[in-house]
Amino acid sequence: MNKGEESPPDGDNDNEKCLLPKKAAVSYIRIASSSESDGEKLTRYYNFIEEEAGVLGAEITARFEDVGVSADPKEQTDLQKLMDYLTKNQVDYVIVPNFSMMTRETSVIVKYADRIAKSGAKLVTPAGQENTLDLLRGMDKASELTMGGEPEKWEICTICHEAMKPGVGCSVDCVYCNGRSYERIKAGDEKHSISADTADDVTCPSCGVGMGQYHHWSCDVEECPFCGDPLVDCDCEVTVFAALDIRQG
């Protein structure tokens, strides 16, 4: 079935959910680009989706796929289509190879997961991520208590809660990649993200922090300290805890 393709509804009442097979599943993935390397990722992702559907005895009724690294919901059109699909159809499972594909921001991951649960569907991810999601809910609730007022002129970093003024870095210095904590890669220390055209800049061309400072969250220039790919779209299971100082050895 093609991306975003919906099964024909049963019945004529637009106000009622369409009746799909007894166990219906939909899938969502997001990749950085349509390059050959991402083609390999697609194969791995879809193999996971098909295997999980088989274990669950479910039929994939729709597939949703976004391309790009932007964290802006307006540019994640298929993710929004998925959420709309859940309001119109009876779906048992939403299969996502890594829920951080939805976004790397803790509060937004929790928001989408809760919307999926409210629809009556179960979010299916690789083993262990369900426990991580429960932890993220707790961390998100704790971080809400630290939020201050938001200046009108500047965007607010979602993890340090400071105004993203030019030359002012993020105060959160570590991320969790695949279960271990790592120091974040500072602006100017990237191996691939900053091109020769911007190498002499005094601030990050994306989030505006000064060279030698930590990027603000969801900056598409920041690299993963584990794999070296852009942090917003790498394959690692990445989490960050705002306003907390919890480290693993």
Strands 180-183 and 174-177 turn out to be antiparallel
- Indicate the domain borders of the chain: 24-136, 151-249
50 or 188, which is more confident?
Answer: 50
pLDDT bin (cut points 50, 70, 90) of residue 129 is: low
Q: What is the pLDDT of residue 114?
A: 86
Question: What are the pLDDT digits (tens) for 33-48?
Answer: 666 556 677 788 889 9
Q: What is the pLDDT of residue 105?
A: 62
9 or 95, which is more confident?
Answer: 95
Over range 47-70, report the average pLDDT.
Answer: 88
Choose among 132, 128, 116, 125: nearest CA to 52.
125
Q: What is the pLDDT of residue 11?
A: 44
H-only helix segments in the chain: 36-56, 77-88, 106-118, 129-144
Average pLDDT, the chain: 75
What is the C-alpha to C-alpha distance for residues 7 and 20, in angstroms, rounded to an integer?
A: 8
Choose among 74, 73, 72, 79: nearest CA to 30.
79
* CB-based contacts of 190, cutoff 8 Å, min separation 6: 221, 222, 223
Q: What is the pLDDT of residue 113?
A: 85
Over range 76-92, report the average pLDDT.
Answer: 91
DSSP line for 36-94: HHHHHHHHHHHHHHHHHHHHHT-EEEEEEEEES----GGG-HHHHHHHHHHHHB--SEE
Q: If you classify domain 24-136 with CATH, what class do you get?
A: alpha beta
**Per mean pLDDT, which range of 47-61, 167-181, 200-214 is the poorest?**
200-214
pLDDT bin (cut points 50, 70, 90) of residue 178 is: confident
User: Which 3 state secondary structure label does DSSP give 140?
Assistant: helix
**182, 194 contact by CB (below 8 A):** no
